[in-house]
Structure 1
Amino acid sequence: MGKTDTFKLKDENGKPIYDNRGDSGANGMVAAAKFEATQIGIDIIKKGGNAVDAAVAVGFALGVCEPNASGIGGGGFMNIRMGKSGEIVFLDFREVAPKEARPSMWKINEEGKVANNEKSEGGKAVGVPGEVAGLVYACENYGTMSLEELVKPAIKLAEEGVDVSDALDDDIKTCSIKLEKFEEEGNAFTKYDYNKKHLKNPALANTLRKIAEEGQDGFYKGEIAEKLVNSVVKHGGKMKLSDLENYRVNKIEPVVGTYRGYTVISSPLPSSGGTHVLQILNILENFDMSSFEVNSVEYIHLMSEVFKMCFADRAKYMGDPTFVKVPVTGLTSKEYAKKLADKIELMSKSYEYDHPFDYEPKDTTHYSIADKEGNMVSVTKSISAFFGSGVIPEDTGIMLNCQMRCFSHIEGNANTVGPNKKPLSSMSPTIILKDNKPFAVVGSPGGNRIITAVAQVISKLIDHDMSIKDAINSPRITDESNEIVMYEGRISKEVIEALEIRGHKTQKFGDYDRKFGGVQGIRYMEDGIMEGAGDPRRDGVAIGY
C-alpha cells in the first residue's frame, strides 16, 4: 500500500509502463491524472483531512502539474457524497459566457464557420472562470482544513517546479505557436526549456498565494481580476470586472438512476454527461451483458448502437436548462430505454441515427477521492482545449480557458451562445452506491468520449465484476456519430472484421490511446479496503493509505 517518488511512467528502456497505476488502502484513496497531485491528496488525508479537503488540494495542484488540461482559469463539476450523513452534493462551477456574449461577437467566414479560430483562441474564446469559486466553496462548506493549508502544496509545486512528462512536453510543443501569439510577461511556457523538462511557474505561485490569503475575492476582485479582464479585452474579448464579481457556484441536484440494483449518481445539466451515462446503462439493462465476452463482436456491436442512439438524443435536446427545456426525466426513464433497446438487432446489422453536433472540449482532467468515513468525491474540470485560449494574463500564471468554443454560433440552437449562459458539457463525475453504501467513484476527461468511457467502466465493474484496475485498463471503443467505430489496437483483428461485415465502419488507434479518455477510479471492496487505479492512457496514478 502506498507509493513513493520512485513511481515511473517508463522503464529503463523508455517503454511505457501500464500496470503500475493501481493501489489499495484502508484509510483513503486518491486517483488523479498526475503523480504529484495524487501524492498531495493522500498527504492531506494522512494529516487528518477528509476526501473533500483532499479534492480541493488536488484541484489546485493539478493546475500546476497538468496545466495543459485544467487550472484556475477554467471550471468544472464536483460530485460529493458525505459519509456520515449520506448527503449528496453536486457543485457546478462551470464557466459562463460574459454578459456581452452574442453569436455576433465572432466573425463568420463564407463557409458559415467562425473565422480566424476566434472561438478557440484569444479573448473571444474565454468564458468566466469558475474553478476558484468551486474549490473555495467546497473547502468552506464540506472540508475540515483551512484554504491556506490546502493551497500551500500547489504553491510549493509552482515555485519549485514539476518534472514534465512526455505527454505534457508534447503538448507544450504542439501549442507553442498559440502560446507565443498571446504572450504577456510572466508566461512560463514560452520560456520552457525542452532540454531540462522541468517547469516552474512563479507567477502562478504568487496568484495561488493571494487566493490562499484572501479566498475567492483574491481571484474575482482586485488586482488579479483587473489583469484578467484587461488581458481578455486586449486580445479581442468583451469581459468586464462585473462578470467576475457576479460569478456564483451552483449547488444543484445530480441525476440519479439505477443499474441492476446499484445507485448511480452523476452530473446534471448543464452537463449532458450524467443523463446520457444513465441512458446508456438503462438500455444495456435490457440485455444480459454478463453473457457477452468483453470486446467480443456482440459486445462492441451492442455498445456502438447504444452510443449512437444516445448521441442522437444529445444533439437534439441538450442545452443550458436555464434557457431551453430539456426532457431529462424522459431521457433517463427505463421505459424510453426499453423502446430504444427494442430497436437494436443484436445479431444483425448497424443502423444510422440522427448525427450529433460536436462542440465539445476534449482536453480535460478528472480525479476521484474516497476515505474510510465513506466520503466520496468525483471531480471533472477543464480549460477546454490543451492550453485553453492561449491567453495568460500578465504576471498571473493563469491559463485562461477557451470554453466559449463549446457553444454554437448559430442562432436558435439549444446550445447557442448568450449572456451568462453555460456551454453544453459531457463531463460525468460519477458516484455509485450498493445498498446505499459506497461502491465506486469514477470519471474521465475526453469530451464526448467521457460518456462512453464512463459507461463502459461502470458496466465492466458491475456486469463483469472486474477490479477497478482491469475495468480501466480494458480496451475501449467509442461511436459518437454514424461515421465510425473507433477502437483501441488491443481489440482483435477478427472482431473488427466481423463488425465491418455487419456494416460498421472502423478506425484503429493506439493500444492505450488517450483519445479514449483518462478514467481515474476507486472501488470499495466488501472488506472495506479501497482499491484505486489511474488510467495508463494518460499519466494517471492512484495512491492509497
Structure 2
Amino acid sequence: MDRRTFLASASAVAAAPLSAQQGRPSPQPAVPAPGQGGAPTRTGGPLPGRWVEGEARFVRPDVGPGDRPVGASFASRTAVYGVSGAAGTAHPLATQAAIDILRRGGSAVDAAIAINACLGFLEPTACGIGGDCYAMLWDPRTRQVVGIAGSGASPRGLSLETVRARARSGVLPPLGAVTVSVPGTVDCWWELHRRYGKLPWAALFEPAIAYAEGGAPVPDIVSYYTRRSIAAFRRPGTGIEEVANALRTYAPGGEGPSVGQVFRNPDLAQTYRLIARGGRDAFYRGEIAERIDRYFRRIGGWLRADDLARHRSEWVKPYAADYRGVTVHALGANTQGLATLQMLNMLERFDLRAEGFQSPRSIHLQAEAKRLAYEDRARYYADPNFARVPADWLVSKDYAAERAKLIRPDRINPAVRPGRAPSNGDTTYFTCADRDGMMVSMIQSNFRGMGSGLVADGLGFMFQDRGQLFSLEDGHPNIYAPGKRPFQTIIPGFATRGGEPWMSFGVMGGDMQPQGQTQIIVSRVDYGLDVQSAGDSPRWHHEGSSQSMGEDGPGLPATGLLRLETGVPDATRAALAGMGWAIGEPDGGFGRYQAVERRLDGATRVWAAASEMRADGCALAY
C-alpha cells in the first residue's frame, strides 16, 4: 500500500447505517474527574444541524474530515519540516518563542525552558512552576539519551497520621494543602541550563514575561479547562484552605476567561523576573521561598522554606527496550515510564502488522498489555529512594514473555494481577531540536486539572496536587512518608534507531501517557504512519486496575472501561464489546501529542515536527 494514501480497508470500517446516523451507544456514561476530561459525545437522538452558541463541542459522528490529496485520510495537517531547528508545543505562542530562541543561537534546552515558562502563563490548566518536570534529551556530544527527574518531595512536617486523617475513603483529596509537594520545575530548568544552555539564563524568560504582562488571547481548550477548574474550586466541600487567590489570578471576571479573551498575569511576570535575576535560588532559598513559607503558614498548610531549600533534581539514566528495531527509552525513578516499555515488550510477541490498523484484535492486544503492565505499576512503582523497585526485571524480555502468555487473542482476561518479583532483587508536553542535533523531550505538570487550587499571595502560579497519588496502604512501596517523592504519571518519550536519534515525543494526560506512547510507536513501527498521522490517529484509553492510583473514577467494571474515540470504526467497537470489553464513550482524556523526528536527506539532517489536533498548539520548523 502507498504510505502517502493510507485509507482504512472496507472490512475495517464497515458499520450498520443505523448506528452511523444515530450515533454510538454508551454502555458506560462518561464521568470526568474534576478538572479533567471533556464534554461527552452525544448519543442517540437527532444530530445537531448547527453549532449552538455557548456549546463547548459540535459533535457530528457521521461527518468525517475533509479530503487531503495525500497522506492519511484522518490526518489533520501536514508535518512541518526544517533543517536548522523545530519545536512542537500545546500553544502557538510558545512554539513561536522556541523558534525565536533557536534563531538567536540558543540550544534546544534553552528553547525548552522558554517554552515551559511561556506555557506556565499560556496553559495554566496543565502546567506551571508550581509543578514537577521531567526530560530526556539526545546529547550530540556524548551520543547518548540523557534523563533528568525534577520531582519534589512531600513536606517533612506533614505526617502519615495527618494525611490519613485528611483522606476520604482511603484516598487523598484532589485539592488543598495536604496534596502539595515541593515544586521541582525551576530547579530542573536550572540544572538543564547549567549543562546544556547557550543563551543567558535571564534571556529565556523574556518571551514569557512579555506575554504575561501584555496578555494573550485564550484558546478554546485552555478556556474550557480553566472554567471547569474554577467551577471545581468553588464547589462546596472541597476542603481547599482558600480560593480567593486562585479566583483573583485566573478568574478576575468570575468564571474564567472565555475563548479569545485577553488574559494577563502580572504577578507571574514579576515572579519570572525574580527567577530570571536570581536563578533557582530565588525560588528555593530567596524571596519566593519566603513568600511560599508565609503563605502556607497563613492557611494552615505544611510546605516550608526548609523543604524548598533541600530540593535537588536528579540526573538519571533512562531504561530502554527494543521494539522491532526501534529502541524506546523511558525514565524510571518515581515515574510510570517503565509501563511503556513493559507494554511494548509484551506486544512484540504478537504480529500486530498482520492484525491491521484499528482492527479489533490490534486494540484488544494493546489494551490487554496495558492491563498487565498497570498491575505492576500499581504494585511496584515508587520513589526508589524509599523502596526497592525491580525495574530491570520489569522491563526484561523474559518477564514480558511470561506476561504475554496471559493475553488471550480473542477474549478479555477476566482477572489480571501483578507479577511476583524475584526475592533477591492535566500535564503539558513539548519538544524541540536545534542545529547542533540536540533533541529535547520534556513534560511538565501540576497533576490533576490546574493543581491544588492554591496560589501563594502575589506569586501568580498554582501549586501541584501530585501528593494525591501516594498510597495510604501499609507496606505499599508508594505509601506516603514525609520527604518522599510521590508516584509520578508524567513521562517524556524518546526513540532511537541504529544508535541514532529518531524521535522525541510525548502524549500528556495522567494514566493515558504510557498508553498513548505505546499507540504512537505501534502506529509508526507496525502500521507505517508518519509523524503527524500517528498523532491524529483515533486512540483508545483503558481505565482501571486492581489497585487504583488515585486516577480512576467511581463505579468502574471489574475489568475496567475501554474508551474509544469516535474515529475508531464501528465494526471494531462492536467486535471489542463481543470480546468482553466494557466500552465507554470518549471523554476528552486521550492525551495531546507533540513530536520531532530526525530524518536524513543524503548527508543533510531534516527535522519533521508534529502537533496533533487535540491541543491548541502547533509545530514550527525553520
| TM-score, normalised relative to structure 1 | 0.91
- Output the amino acid matched with 2:597: R
Q: Is residue 2:400 matched to residue 1:400?
A: no
Q: Is residue 2:203 matched to residue 1:146?
A: no
Q: What SS does the corresponding residue of 1:307 show, helix, strand or coil?
A: helix
Q: 1:15 to 1:26 in 2, by over 3 A?
A: farther
Q: Is residue 2:98 matched to residue 1:41?
A: yes
Q: Is residue 2:567 matched to residue 1:490?
A: yes
Distance 1:477 1:396 in 2: 39
Residue number in structure 2 paired with 1:499: 576
Distance 1:308 1:186 in 2: 39
Residue number in structure 1 paired with 2:325: 261
- Output the amino acid matched with 2:447: S
- Output the amino acid matched with 1:521: A
Distance 1:177 1:507 in 2: 25
Residue number in structure 2 paired with 1:73: 130
Of 472, 475, 479 in structure 2, the residue corresponding to residue 412 of structure 1 is 475
Distance 1:202 1:519 in 2: 30
Residue number in structure 2 paired with 1:3: none
Q: CA deviation at 1:412?
A: 2.6
Distance 2:292 2:507 in 1: 29
Q: How does 1:140-539 map to 2 (within 5 A)?
A: 140-177=194-231, 181-184=242-245, 187-192=248-253, 194=257, 197-273=261-337, 275-354=338-417, 363-481=426-544, 482-509=559-586, 513=588, 515-527=589-601, 528-539=605-616
Q: 1:110 to 1:456 in 2, by over 3 A?
A: closer
- Output the amino acid matched with 1:183: A
Conserved 8 A contact 1:31-1:543: yes
Q: CA deviation at 1:457?
A: 0.1
Distance 1:207 1:102 in 2: 30
Conserved 8 A contact 1:427-1:444: no
Q: What SS does the corresponding residue of 1:520 show, helix, strand or coil?
A: strand
Unaligned runs of 5+ in 1: 1-10, 357-362
Conserved 8 A contact 2:446-2:464: yes
Q: CA deviation at 1:345?
A: 2.2
Residue number in structure 1 paired with 2:174: 120
Distance 2:304 2:167 in 1: 31
Conserved 8 A contact 2:246-2:462: no
Conserved 8 A contact 1:302-1:346: yes
Conserved 8 A contact 2:157-2:302: yes
Q: CA deviation at 1:530?
A: 1.5
| TM-score, normalised relative to structure 2 | 0.80
Greater Rg over alpha carbons, structure: 2
Q: CA deviation at 1:485?
A: 1.4
Distance 1:410 1:198 in 2: 46
- Output the amino acid matched with 1:529: V
Conserved 8 A contact 1:96-1:423: yes
Q: 1:128 to 1:463 in 2, by over 3 A?
A: same
Distance 1:523 1:57 in 2: 21
Q: CA deviation at 1:109?
A: 7.5
Distance 1:179 1:232 in 2: 18
Q: What SS does the corresponding residue of 1:533 show, helix, strand or coil?
A: strand
CA RMSD between the two structures: 2.3
Distance 1:373 1:417 in 2: 43
Q: How does 1:52-63 map to 2 (within 5 A)?
A: 52-63=109-120
Q: What SS does the corresponding residue of 2:136 show, helix, strand or coil?
A: strand
* 1:257-281, Cα deviation, whole Å (9 max, x unpaired): 21112222211121022x1111111
Distance 1:37 1:80 in 2: 19
- Output the amino acid matched with 1:467: D
Conserved 8 A contact 2:94-2:118: yes
Q: CA deviation at 1:177?
A: 4.6
Residue number in structure 2 paired with 1:94: 151
Which has the higher mean CA deviation after the structures are superposed, 218-227 or 434-443?
218-227
Q: Which runs of 4+ in 1 moved over 6 A?
A: 13-18
Q: CA deviation at 1:348?
A: 4.2
Q: What SS does the corresponding residue of 1:439 show, helix, strand or coil?
A: strand
